[in-house]
Amino acid sequence: MIDNEYELIIKDIDSSEEFQKTKEIVHHGMNRYDHSKRVSLYSYKIAKKLGLSYEEVARAALLHDFFLVDNKNISVKEKANTLVNHPKYALKYSEKFFYLTEKEKDIIVTHMFPIAPTRVPKYAESWLVDIVDDVVAIIEEVQVKKRQILSMANFFIVLLLTI
Ligand SMILES: [Fe+2]
Ligand SMILES: [Fe+2]
């Protein structure tokens, strides 16, 4: 269901040419755009219920993985490096295109705490996005695995029927 207030808060980011490029980048077996929108919308809804700064949460969560390095084009070593450092990449890239408040910067740069060696999140909003991102990532990975298992099962059933 479309949330008009949410859509208005993120409109300038979502409609920007640069952010649209995240649709082309594979992320958790899906694409970075869908992942970011999911983390942003869920975080926004929870922030609103908890009385937190939901506008900052919606915008920063949308930008939390905003960088254009595609894991499928880099080495294993670079992948490990990206896993640890991408919150910094995302902050740098986001600042290049959008104005960010101090809280938004904190949300982006600490969203991988404690895996990435950035500082401890300063705000409740940062903790919220950190947790929502983890939960969404797990759900996405499970969905991708489920789809792979189903398509393998499908393949073997078709194979059995043709012998
Ligand atoms: Fe991330
Ligand atoms: Fe993420």
Of the candidate ranges 4-18, 47-61, 140-154, the one whose mean pLDDT is the lowest: 140-154
The band of 27, judged by pLDDT with boundaries at 50, 70 and 90, is confident
How many structural domains is the chain composed of?
A: 1
Q: What's the average model confidence in pLDDT over 59-82?
A: 90
Ligand 1 centre to CA of 147 (Å) is 23
Ligand 2 centre to CA of 138 (Å) is 10
**CATH number of the CATH domain containing 72:** 1.10.3210.10
CA 124/CA 76 separation, integer angstroms: 34
Task: Reduce the secondary structure of the chain to three states and give it as a string.
Answer: CCCHHHHHHHHHHHCCHHHHHHHHCEECCEEHHHHHHHHHHHHHHHHHHHCCCHHHHHHHHHHCCCCCCCHHHCCHHHHHHHHHHHHHHHHHHHHHHCCCCHHHHHHHHCCCCCCCCCCCCCCHHHHHHHHHHHHHHHHHHHHHHHHHHHHHHHHHHHHHHHC
**Confidence check: pLDDT of 129 > 80:** yes
**Confidence check: pLDDT of 117 > 80:** no
pTM of the model: 0.90
| Ligand found nearest the CA of 136 | 2
**Confidence check: pLDDT of 29 > 90:** no
Ligand 1 centre to CA of 161 (Å) is 43
**Confidence check: pLDDT of 80 > 90:** no
The band of 57, judged by pLDDT with boundaries at 50, 70 and 90, is very high
Which residue range is the domain that position 95 belongs to? 4-162
